[in-house]
Structure 1
Amino acid sequence: MLKKYNLDFTSLKKLDFKLLTTLVLLTSFGIINIYLCTKGGVFNDPFLFTRKQLTWFFISLISICLFLTFDYRVIYQYVPIIYWITIALLIAVWIPGIGININGERGWIDLKISLLQPSEVAKFSIILMLSKLLDDMNCHINNRDNFRKILLYVSLPVGLILIQKDMGMTMVCFFIILGMMYIAGLDEKIILGGFSILVLAIALLWNSGLIFQHQKDRILEFLNTNNNTTGKGYQLDQGLISIGSGGLLGYSLSLDPEVSPEYAGTHVPEVQTDFIFTAIAEQWGFIGSLFLLFLYAILIIQILKIAKKAQDRFGEFICVGMASYILFAVTQNIGMTLELLPITGITLPFISYGGSSLFTTMISMALILNIEIGTKKLTFSKSNII
């Protein structure tokens, strides 16, 4: 009876195992570093963040397996439903008793067993909706009516994220949209105009209340080269000390939960989230940091290869959207920790702590793996064995 149904593995031959292996390596590397920088006496439970991240990792792996059981094009007809559910979630954060504030930002929904960040879901939803729109209009993106339609659909979720004062995710969504529309053939004059509007919007919103004071301080701190550890640049300064102290090979790592983490784990605020690269550079040194960048390079290259082989525009633009997200997020996150870019609170994909971020990003990658499989799907066939 246990062998009544057997899994047909023939379509697994088209699965991109290089991409899957890179995903597992990146996520595992992230979990290890979350543990290394949060163990010891820094928190009451040295396994708190590690345990939560591991839980989401296993949930993500199960979800990937489920996503491989059907043709990705089935999702095409459900994209509008996913989009409007996302809009509802972004609105729900403002409902008392459902949405909660964290660090002054009202961008989370309390699920009792965990927290959900709808803006992370929106990132995935925007990629799906924009992919469908571009496919429907046959990439005639410079047509005025088509362009207006796209702007309408992308402006709604981005606007809702903006009023949550989540500037980091707003920037992520902007560059996802920009990357996808550029590949679709958007006129370069419109792109330049978009950047001009972005700069103008920041100037207009500077004193509107939609930008927190600490977000202004981050931008001003970036423009001010005379940082000091007693001013607004404390997190950045401590992060730079951590990165510099890692040297070529980093420190001798200890997995003992009672042993306190190195400098980043004790001096860099919220090191397990958007500043985890400082801990990686300290713990693994320059070589370890290069290894991380190497994994990201493989990931992006594999995604773009799948985009070129995709059998339709819908699959192609899903891949382009994810590649745009990963490229921008990695550049911005590492750049801000090195004082090359302003601090925006953007997390490092697959590495930083955060269940919503990990789950939605892994689901997106599951879809890309499904696109690689193409028309062949995993199926369950009856066995004659009873």
Structure 2
Amino acid sequence: MFKRFKLDVRLIKEIDKTLLISLILLILYGILNVYLCTKAQYGLFFVKSQVIWFALSMLALYIFMAVDYTTIFNYVPIFYWGSVILLLLAMVPGIGVVVNGARGWIRVGGFGFQPAEIAKLGIILMIAKRLDEMEGKINEVKNFFILVFYAAVPVLIIVRQPDMGMSMVCFFIVLGIFYTMGLDIRIIGGGLMSLVLAIIIVWNSGFIQLYQKERFTGFLNPEVDSANTYQLKQSLIGIGSGGILGSRPSFSIDGSSSYSAQNVPEPQTDFIFAAIADQYGFLGAIVLLTLYGFLIYKMISIARTSKDIFGSVICVGIVSYFLFAIFQNIGMTIGLMPITGITLPLISCGGSSLLTTVISVGLVINVGMRRKKIFF
């Protein structure tokens, strides 16, 4: 049984070392900043949790690198429909719990996870599988609607929770895949118009509460004195406090914390970029973006050289996720994007997000390891 998960030396040589190192450095950078912005109030509580999830993620990374991704191809429907079932269970009172206004979490004992994180990966895998079976013929009407169906099923459930942030993530993942695979630009334009229409319908449907709407639109007028713009205002002050080299009070002898750690609500999750820019300044933000740059560049390179459509689409979907999540998360901390619950990949505190993101990158590394035929 364990031989199945043993990596041959010749496969190990094919691992993209830059991609792997960038992945691990980003996680460690995130753990450090989670500690720095929570230690004064919570001690080691959050960092212990993140370290445990990091260990689990490294185990999952190894497994998803060891098993040939073409073997996973046959099990994609089980993974996809399993994630849909979990999404539905999260909607059931008594099983699902409400977090930040959305019933999208399942808690078992002291363990909690967000099924939408799993569904996000399920969408990528299912669309990749179907496109491979279709030989990439995305512009055939039947094929297009089949792909839309598989994208829409989990997204509609996520919208109903309601979790607009994750809905946006899933939409832009699918958009990135469709665009890269050569979908007619007119169809993409129609899809964007449909998105606008869907947002208007959901916005006025009663699914979204007033405070959620104000939180979403607060970036348009941050000067308004409102509880929903408070977090953004504090984030901007914290980022400004960092300057070029950062304030770095967390490293001082008296154990004081940065402005963001003390004043930005939940700086370890959605607004961790503010804590990083405060602590390390512009330089720290550049280091973060450089690591992301290496990660994304390498994933794009693997997507281009994949031996099949299945592997290529997996890479494209995951790259699309990173690009949108990074842009959205950092954008909302500086007032350029609406405030949503989208976390900063590999950096923000959150177990299910870290685990699924590491698995996603592990799949990309897997695709890159098996670009060449290796004779055993």
Q: What's the TM-score, normalizing by structure 2?
A: 0.94
Matched residue, 1:22: 22
Secondary structure of the residue that 1:68 maps to in structure 2? Answer: helix
8 Å contact from structure 2 (residues 332, 339) kept in 1: yes
Query: Residues of 2 paired with 1:175 and 1:100: CA distance?
Result: 26
- The answer (yes or no) to whether the contact 1:275–1:337 under 8 Å persists in 2 is yes
2:292 matched residue in structure 1: 296
Q: Deviations over 1:160-187 (max 9, x none)?
A: 1110110000000000000001111111
Task: State the match for 1:223 in structure 2.
Answer: 220
Amino acid at match of 2:261: G
Counterparts of 2:96 and 2:288, CA distance in 1: 35
Give yes or no for contact 1:205–1:211 (8 Å, CA) kept in 2: yes
1:24 Cα offset (Å): 0.4
Residue in structure 1 matched with residue 9 of structure 2 by the alignment: 9
Q: Which residue of 2 aligns with 1:144?
A: 141
Q: What is the aligned partner in structure 2 of residue 175 from structure 1?
A: 172
Alignment of 1:98 with 2:95, yes or no, is yes
Cα deviation code 1:78-103 (max 9, x no counterpart)? 00000110011001112343211123
- C-alpha separation in 2, matches of 1:336 and 1:315: 32
Query: 8 Å contact 1:39–1:258 — kept in the other structure?
Result: no
Letter in 2 for 1:319: C
Instruction: Measure the CA separation in 2 of the matches of 1:377 and 1:96.
Output: 50
Q: Counterpart in 2 of 1:384?
A: none
Deviates more, 1:244-253 or 1:215-224: 215-224
Aligned letter for 1:163? R
Query: Equivalents in 1 of 2:203, 2:51: separation in Å?
Result: 39
Residue in structure 1 matched with residue 52 of structure 2 by the alignment = 55
Q: CA deviation at 1:247?
A: 0.4
TM-fit CA distance, 1:70: 2.1
1:329-356 per-position Cα deviation (integer Å, ceiling 9, x unaligned): 0001001111111111210000001000
By how many angstroms is 1:225 displaced? 5.1
* Unpaired segments ≥5 residues, structure 1: 382-386
Asked if residue 261 in structure 1 is aligned to residue 257 in structure 2, the reply is: yes
Aligned partner of residue 182 in structure 2, secondary structure: coil
Output the amino acid matched with 1:54: V
Instruction: Report the alpha carbon displacement of residue 368 of structure 1 after superposing the two structures with TM.
Output: 0.9
Residue of structure 2 in register with 1:359 after alignment: 355
State the secondary structure of the residue aligned to 2:13: helix
Q: Tell which structure's C-alpha radius of gyration is larger.
A: 1
**Percent of paired sites with the same residue:** 49
Q: 1:256 to 1:90 in 2, by over 3 A?
A: farther
- 2:82 counterpart of 1:85: yes
Q: Greater share of helix residues, 1 or 2?
A: 2
**1:335 maps onto 2:331 in alignment:** yes
The residue aligned with 2:184 is 187
AA of the residue aligned to 2:241: S
Shift of 1:69: 2.0
Q: Which moved more, 1:215-224 or 1:252-261?
A: 252-261
1:14 match: secondary structure: coil
Question: 1:45-103 CA deviation, whole Å, 9 max, x = no partner?
Answer: x1111010110111111111122222110000000000110011001112343211123
Is 1:286 the counterpart of 2:282? The answer is yes
Answer 1 or 2: higher relative contact order, Cα 8 Å, separation at least 6. 1
* Alignment partners' CA distance in 2, 1:320 and 1:7: 25
Deviations 1:149-170 (A, max 9, x none): 1111111000011101100000
Q: Is the 8 A contact 2:87 2:158 kept in 1?
A: yes
Partner residue, 1:210: 207
The reply to whether residue 272 of structure 1 matches residue 268 of structure 2 is yes
Question: What's the CA shift for 1:104?
Answer: 2.4
Maintained 8 Å contact 1:71/1:376: no
Question: 2 CA distance for matches of 1:12 and 1:37?
Answer: 37
Counterpart position of 1:325: 321
Q: Give 1:253 deviation, angstroms.
A: 4.5
Residues of 2 paired with 1:376 and 1:144: CA distance? Answer: 34
RMSD, matched Cα:
2.1
Shift of 1:227: 3.6
SS at match of 2:155: helix
Aligned residues: 372
| Structure 2 partner of 1:69 | 66
Q: Which amino acid aligns with 1:16?
A: D
**What is the distance in 2 between the residues matched to 1:271 and 1:359?**
20
Contact 1:68 1:369 in 2 (8 A): yes
Q: Partner of 2:228: helix, strand, or coil? A: coil
Shift of residue 215, structure 1, vs aligned partner: 2.6
Q: How far does residue 263 in structure 1 lie from its aligned partner after superposition?
A: 1.1
CA distance in 2, matches of 1:211, 1:104: 9
Identify unmatched segments of 5+ residues in structure 2: none
